[in-house]
Amino acid sequence: MPKVVFIERDGNHKEVEAPVGLSLLEIAHRNDVDIEGACEGSLACSTCHIIVDEKWFKRLSEPSEDEEDMLDLAFDLQRTSRLGCQIVMTEELDGLTVRLPGETRNMLLE
């Protein structure tokens, strides 16, 4: 089974099994990785913001315009930022490494 490495806010590397077809948000939730996902993956917030390792970023499909709009609301936006709900695991992404930003901004609560 493919694996994903989440680099948590404290710098801890958490390697987890990543079933094909699940989003990184779903994988994170199944493995107690601290990603909020306030909108439950409906592309209505930026609380599942992750920063993709440079070597993996180009292997991902392009973000949709809706994802880019939500990313504009994310805290600590980086060039390789994506939303975890929009990255679906494939065999080709085995070993994908992503970092959690220092904070998140939940616009649904404001």
Q: Using pLDDT thresholds of 50, 70 and 90, give the confidence band for residue 104.
A: low
Burial of 19 (0-12, 13-18, 19+ CB in 10 A): exposed
Is the pLDDT at 81 greater than 60? The verdict is: yes
Mean pLDDT value across residues 62-80: 94
- What's residue 103's pLDDT? 62
User: Whole-structure pTM over 0.85, yes or no?
Assistant: yes
Q: Which two tokens stand for residue 80?
A: 């390789």
Q: Which CATH class is domain 3-105?
A: alpha beta
Mean pLDDT value across residues 56-78: 94
Mean pLDDT value across residues 54-66: 96
Whole-number Å distance between alpha carbons of 58 and 80: 9
